């Protein structure tokens, strides 16, 4: 698998289901989501009508279940390498898109910075971070960590 330049934006919203629905409609390949728990996620967090067993099925998307509230899905994307959705420990959203970057190209970094600005505007995000193979932050503390961040825009949550 080639390296990926990951771009994330932090979204604090009272309309989490609506924002998730817009992100999914715009960026996630619904015909090939790559994640077998995608349906359970949509029922639980977008439709807010989980089926029996959905909550339990999503537990292993958490880094340290059961105490941890953050979870991340890696999904197929319509026009990008991948789409990433994270529910943070704080209950906010981190929405991400991955750009294929096999050559660690400065051009991909420029496209990533432009994509970050576009996502920030589209989803009224506080800020954005990006980097090569950057794991999605699942908390404000992880968001502030500079270790792997190569591009940062806006403010911290």
Q: What is the DSSP letter of 2?
A: -
What Rg, from alpha-carbon coordinates, does the chain have? 15
pTM score: 0.92
List per-block mean pLDDT (blocks of 10 residues) for the chain, which spans 157 residues: 88 96 96 86 95 88 72 94 95 96 87 96 96 93 90 89
Q: How far apart are CA 116 and CA 130, in angstroms?
A: 8
Closest CA to 1 of 118, 133, 108, 115: 133
* pLDDT score, position 111: 94
């Amino acid at each position: 698998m080639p390296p990926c330049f990951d771009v994330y934006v932090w979204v604090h919203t009272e309309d989490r289901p609506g924002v998730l629905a817009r992100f999914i409609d715009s960026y996630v390949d619904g015909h090939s989501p790559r994640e077998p728990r995608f349906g359970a996620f949509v029922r639980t967090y977008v439709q807010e009508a989980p089926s029996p067993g959905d909550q339990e099925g999503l537990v292993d998307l958490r880094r340290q279940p059961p105490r941890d509230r953050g979870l991340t899905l890696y999904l197929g994307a319509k026009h990008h390498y991948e789409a990433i959705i994270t529910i943070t420990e704080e209950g906010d959203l981190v929405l991400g898109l991955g750009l294929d970057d096999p050559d660690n190209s400065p051009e991909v970094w420029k496209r990533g910075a432009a994509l970050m600005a576009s996502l920030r505007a589209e989803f009224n995000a506080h800020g954005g971070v990006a980097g090569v193979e950057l794991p999605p932050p699942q908390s404000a503390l992880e968001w502030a960590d500079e270790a792997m961040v190569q591009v940062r825009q806006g403010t911290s949550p």
